[in-house]
Amino acid sequence: MKTFRSLVLFACDSFILLCATMLCLLVSHWFHDASVGRLSNLIPHLLVLYACVTAAQLLLRTYSSLWRYAESREYLSLLLAAFLGLLTYELIAKTLMKSVIISFITLTAIGGLWVLGMLLLRFTYRVYRGHRSYRRGDHKIPAAIVGAGAAGIQLLEELSSNQDSQFRVRCFFDDDPNKLGKNVHGIPVRGTIAQVPDKLKMLGIETVFVAIPSADENRRHEILQFLSKMEHVRISTLPSTLELIDRKPMRGQLREVQIEDLLGRPPVVLDPAPVDAFLQGKVVMVTGGGGSIGSELCRQIVKHEPRKLIIVDIYENNAYDIQQELMYRYGGRLDLVVEIASVRDERRVRQLVNRYRPQVLFHAAAHKHVPLMETSPQEAIRNNVFGTLNLVRAADEYGVEKFLLISTDKAVNPTSVMGASKRMCEMVLQSMKGYSATDFVAVRFGNVLGSNGSVVPLFKRQIAAGGPVTLTDKRIIRYFMTIPEAAQLVLQAGAQARKNELFVLNMGQPVKILDLAENLIRLSGYVPYRDIDIIETGLRPGEKLYEELLIASRDIEQTENSEIFIECQPAITPRELEQKLRILSAALEADDPAVIRQALHQVVPTFHEPDEVNRVQGAEVEIPVQQSERDYAVTV
């Protein structure tokens, strides 16, 4: 089909050239004044002219272009080919043919008419294709595009020409004063971004596309935060310029605004060079490698070319998913092993560590859901505390170089069984200081967006179901990070850590969960409290109103990376740890949740009941807004 279309276009160009030549010769009285001999010489000159312009067209590949997508480059190539062909003919006529049958003025007129005819043909074809696609599509939904730059124009063309598109772009909005009041491809620029809410109400538009991928993160956040206040308006956005490098179609890159866009800070990007030196050529094991954090760790670890990657997980479906993903992406370039095992099985743990002799071990396997662990505290102790103990002892016995524990901000002055159990895990690592050749490191995570069980997916499901959106308490504030940020921090910690250090991350300003829920409802095209209600269900067992600002502690040291800090924890000896473990073991034997909870209070002195902590925090929690982003952070 492509060859056929090129042949048809070639035939049309040839016909236009013939018509232009005959017309110009006729108008110039060439035939009237020509002798019979002169007329007989015309045919060779026409053949040479035809050969020259055809060769120029083929040389510049004008028939290789898809003219329905043509831009200035294609049209310039067409003009250049015509000029080159006519110039070549003129030189050949004067030098080789020793005669000038067609005057320069007539030749110029022929070239002008020919180019005009070719351009008209291509413009007609392009308008026809666009109109045909538009008529076949269902372009009923009125929409506006914020950003009348290159990305906005490209999005307009694709929404208009794609027959699968449901959108009819009615207007642009842009802050560039040179564009205000002008038309872009026939679509008016109605006003600035600040005028969007008022103008949309007048025009009856309820769909907005934000097409400013070149804006920095702060500006994008500012625009999206402003637009999210509009009622009954659904907002979609193009990703940032860096996210567009895979060059998918523009319409395919559109996505609904995600709550990450409204967090008010650029993503944390860490230097990969130290991690390359840390992981390249190493044997790496990841426990809990099928989970949300563990699987992202695996994705990022393989980018640094380890010699072997061993994924350990008790849940076979998750382990299978990440195995298939990595095998599809890397194939035979990656030496990958997946083992189904529980960290609670001491014999199995020792067997795996002995078999593979990992040089680096990431421990991400844990029970992490706060309310579930309140009702099943024995499982938190067995899996989190004694599972970590099994791995730590095996790592020490078989010479693991570095052991990295994924901890949580809930281990800071914990109010839950889960938080207290993770604090005990940190103590297990601290007890090895000075007693093992292995570097034991803990990295504390805050609330991870998009992880299994996080609040944002829950809100989205509730909105899709028509509401209500449920909050445990409207006063709650939290610090957030993305899964890739969390995984990067763990790898950086492993690269920097020396002995028994506890790493935390500067996370910027906190987010009020109520604001997060309201914004997400608005971005879905609904009005909070009118279309979708927000209700409080009460604090869950073990839940705090807000997490600790660990980075504000006096026992914090900044690393060479301004986003990463080290907390200095008091030392704990192996003997002290053994005493604590005996207390927990005895509580497990009793198999009574109340006894286990009391034992946790005994072994973790900072463990307090949530009612007590929340009462001290007060009736109202305010988010500070006057200080710098650097004044706030979350444990990671």
Structure token digits, residue 511: 């987010």
* SS3 category, 103: coil
In angstroms, the CA 394 to CA 350 distance is 5
- At residue 177, φ and ψ (nearest 5 deg) are -60, -25
Given a contact cutoff of 8 angstroms between Cβ atoms, the answer to whether 595 and 402 are in contact is no
Residue partners of 491: CB distance under 8 A and separation at least 6: 270, 275, 278, 279, 297, 300, 301, 304
Given a contact cutoff of 8 angstroms between Cβ atoms, the answer to whether 101 and 38 are in contact is yes
Using H for helix, E for strand and C for coil, what is the string for 140-204? CEEEEEECCCHHHHHHHHHHHHCCCCCEEEEEEECCCCCCCCCEECCEEEEECHHHHHHHHHHHC
Closest CA to 370 of 426, 411, 427, 318: 411
Closest CA to 561 of 499, 621, 485, 474: 485
Count how many residues are written for the chain.
Answer: 636
Other beta carbons within 10 angstroms of residue 143's beta carbon come to 22
Q: Which of 282, 368, 402, 410 is catalytic?
A: 410
- At residue 229, φ and ψ (nearest 5 deg) are -80, -10
Residue partners of 224: CB distance under 8 A and separation at least 6: 210, 235, 237, 257, 261, 262
Closest CA to 526 of 468, 473, 458: 468
Can 140 be counted among the known catalytic residues? no
* SS3 category, 27: helix
- At residue 537, φ and ψ (nearest 5 deg) are -110, -5
Structure token digits, residue 562: 């301004």
Rounded alpha-carbon distances, angstroms, from residue 546 to 60, 450, 555: 66, 20, 20
Characterize 481-496 residue by residue with b for buried, 16 or more Cβ atoms within 10 angstroms of its Cβ, and e for exposed.
bbbbbbbbbbbbbbbb
As to burial, measured by CB atoms within 10 angstroms (0-12 exposed, 13-18 middle, 19+ buried), residue 125 is middle
Rounded alpha-carbon distances, angstroms, from residue 544 to 381, 476, 495: 21, 8, 33
Other beta carbons within 10 angstroms of residue 167's beta carbon come to 24
Which residue do the tokens 């020396």 mark?
A: 498
Given a contact cutoff of 8 angstroms between Cβ atoms, the answer to whether 322 and 328 are in contact is no
Amino acid 528 reads P
Q: What angle do CA 198, 201, 205 make, to 5 degrees?
A: 120
Amino acid 386 reads F
Characterize 81-117 residue by residue with b for buried, 16 or more Cβ atoms within 10 angstroms of its Cβ, and e for exposed.
bbebbbebbbeebeeeeeeebbeeebbebbbebbbeb
As to burial, measured by CB atoms within 10 angstroms (0-12 exposed, 13-18 middle, 19+ buried), residue 467 is middle
- Looking at the annotation, which residues are catalytic? 410
